Chain A
Amino acid sequence: DVKVTQSSRYLVKRTGEKVFLECVQDMDHENMFWYRQDPGLGLRLIYFSYDVKMKEKGDIPEGYSVSREKKERFSLILESASTNQTSMYLCASSLLPGPGANVLTFGAGSRLTVL
């Protein structure tokens, strides 16, 4: 089975801190994604990546950046955390680029609280 591992399940940070959320997948998937999940809003795409050193903005990239230096690792960075970034963050990966039949494999999530 594909495994997507998010290094931190729960984090508490202070406003203005720099936050790193790490995600690693072990099945050589090309695509990796970061979503944010909030009650009543579902999942919203922050950034995604098709390949190493490649990144594309999703629907809500403001306040976030990403890094993909190795194929298996996709990091989400909050340069200066704010309270409205308190949320559950979900990393996912999928195998194939291109049209639509890809199944996403998700990590367990990282719940971030910004005080």
Chain B
Amino acid sequence: AQSVAQPEDQVNVAEGNPLTVKCTYSVSGNPYLFWYVQYPNRGLQFLLKYITGDNLVKGSYGFEAEFNKSQTSFHLKKPSALVSDSALYFCAVPVSGGSYIPTFGRGTSLIVHP
């Protein structure tokens, strides 16, 4: 079955330090991979996606993600964290079988400390 996993429930980082939020996937064939962010009391917002091509994908708010086929990973990164980056982050992959509906990871809570 196609799926994504986010191995960390919570990530803590100091403001100004680099951040990484991890995602691994299990997909047959070439994957489409997505990151979404959810700020407190809000719906999810699209951050970035990997379809094909360059393994480093740049997205909104200074975030980027690196597609690594050998490690089946799609980790979200930012060189310098801001307190305002504190939010819930979801990795997602469309599930094949006709519908291609996204299935989401369980989410990782990012806390950036001042």
Listed in ascending order, the chain A residues whose CB lies under 8 Å from chain B are 4, 33, 35, 40-43, 45, 48, 56, 58, 90, 92, 98-109
Contacts and interface: CB of A to CB of B under 8 A. Distances in A.
Report, as a range, how many residues of chain B touch the other chain: 20 to 34
A106 B100 contact: no
A41 B96 CA distance: 21
B99 interface: yes
A109 B46 contact: no
Interface in B31-63: 32, 34, 36, 41-46, 49, 51
A101 B49 contact: yes
Interface in B2-18: 9
B43 A100 contact: no
Contacts of B9: 40
Contacts of A35: 104
Contacts of B51: 101
A106 B92 CA distance: 14
B83 interface: no
B65 to A, nearest CB: 14
Given A43-B104, A48-B101, A104-B102, A99 B46 contact: no
B43 A108 contact: yes
Interface of B: 9, 32, 34, 36, 41-46, 49, 51, 90, 94, 96, 99-107
Closest 5 CB pairs of A and B: A106-B43, A100-B94, A42-B106, A100-B32, A43-B104
Nearest to B106: A42
Given A42-B105, A101-B51, A109 B43 contact: yes
A4 B42 CA distance: 12
A100 B104 contact: no
A35 B9 CA distance: 20
A100 B33 CA distance: 9
Contact of B34 (A4, A45, A103, A106): A103
